[in-house]
Amino acid sequence: MTATQEPTPATAQPPRSLLDFQGWSRGQLESILETAKMMQEVLARPVKKVPALTGFTVATVFFEASTRTRLSFELAARRMSADVLSFAASTSSVSKGETYKDTLLTLDAMGLDAYVIRVDAAGVCHQAEKWLGKPIINAGDGWRAHPTQALLDAFTLLEKLGTLEGKKVAIVGDIQHSRVARSNAELLPMLGAKVVACGPATLLPGSLLAAELTTDLRQALSEADAVMALRLQNERMDKGLLPSLPEYISGYQITEGRLGWAKPDAPLLHPGPMNRDVELEGSLADSPRSLVERQVANGQAVRMAVLYHLLVGKKS
Ligand code: CP
């Protein structure tokens, strides 16, 4: 969605898939976050397993690399007793020229119930829902959206800040190529937060939903309740967008000193993977301000909640 497009009105029934936040209401998303709290309790038990998804089979279909998202979805599904089919493009017949559609139809012939898909092209997840007629969870499609990352970021912020109402969240780095920035710019304002996105002009889009855009790092961080650093998405970047890496670091790296421009104790988030000493001072990731590992831990609970809502259903 662009800033000029009207959002799709949310319906009483949540959408069948989580492709982005279009069609979802604040209440429906808050309901997922509430369920994630219950899933956290499951994960704190000695036996981290419930029968909620017994009989379901979930496919994780990754046409792009991933550590956190794929593994946490697979664990999330197994923690709820689903069977998991794990597909990686690099070891598949995609290398022989099989298309996205034929690959997905082939998997579907094996009798699957839901698909977690990561792909380098926007639109494939929407098409997959049409091709398969089953719940699709977008695990990152090109620059466009990474909704479960934004949900786990929101969950982690809520855990730390108590509420997002009136909070300022600064997102700093390569905004232009970031699906994480787009999904957070969509979700966090729905939950009451103000998002300020900051980076060099060549790495900022013309607009980013309701987010304020700035090239001024001090302005972005000033009075921020939380700061999120993003890596340079070199795999999606045309050459020549930065004068040099040292100049980028000198202008936009989150350092301990610069974090001092934010509110005292404002937490630092990063979706990972991190490039230490590029987008953030490496030691900051291990400091008490960092929520990076908490984000990863919460990812599992949030993804359990998403799978539960889409497969078992829970009306808000
Ligand atoms: N944050 C995130 O999507 O990480 P992965 O690429 O490791 O899944």
pLDDT tops 90 at residue 233: no
- Provide the pLDDT for residue 306: 98
3-state secondary structure of 85: strand
pLDDT tens track for 50-66: 999 999 999 999 999 99
Domain 147-295 is classified in which CATH homologous superfamily?
A: Aspartate/ornithine carbamoyltransferase (3.40.50.1370)
- State the Cα–Cα distance between residues 181 and 197, nearest whole angstrom: 8
262 CA distance to ligand 1 middle (Å): 26
pLDDT tops 90 at residue 234: no
Q: pTM of the entire structure?
A: 0.94
Q: Do domains 26-145+296-315 and 147-295 have the same CATH topology?
A: yes
Which ligand 1 atom minimizes the distance to the CA of 64?
A: 6
Average pLDDT over residues 136-158: 97
More confident residue, 91 or 226: 226
169 CA distance to ligand 1 middle (Å): 20
- Provide the pLDDT for residue 5: 41
Which ligand 1 atom minimizes the distance to the CA of 67?
A: 7
273 CA distance to ligand 1 middle (Å): 6
3-state secondary structure of 247: helix
Q: How many beta carbons lie within 10 A of that of residue 217, not counting itself?
A: 19
Q: Confidence class of residue 6 from pLDDT cuts 50, 70 and 90?
A: very low
pLDDT tops 80 at residue 196: yes
pLDDT tops 50 at residue 200: yes
pLDDT tens track for 80-126: 999 999 998 888 998 899 999 999 999 999 999 999 999 999 999 99
pLDDT tens track for 264-309: 999 999 999 999 999 999 999 999 999 999 999 999 999 999 999 9
- Provide the pLDDT for residue 51: 98
- Residues in contact with ligand 1 by the CB-under-6-Å rule are 66-69, 140, 149, 271-273
Segments making up each domain of the chain, as ranges: 26-145+296-315, 147-295
Average pLDDT, the chain: 94
| Burial of residue 97, with CB atoms counted within 10 A of its CB: 0-12 exposed, 13-18 middle, 19 or more buried | exposed
Q: Confidence class of residue 314 from pLDDT cuts 50, 70 and 90?
A: low
Per CATH, the number for 26-145+296-315 is 3.40.50.1370
Average pLDDT over residues 251-261: 97
Nearest CA to ligand 1 atom 6: 66
Task: Tell me which DSSP letter residue 14 carries.
Answer: P
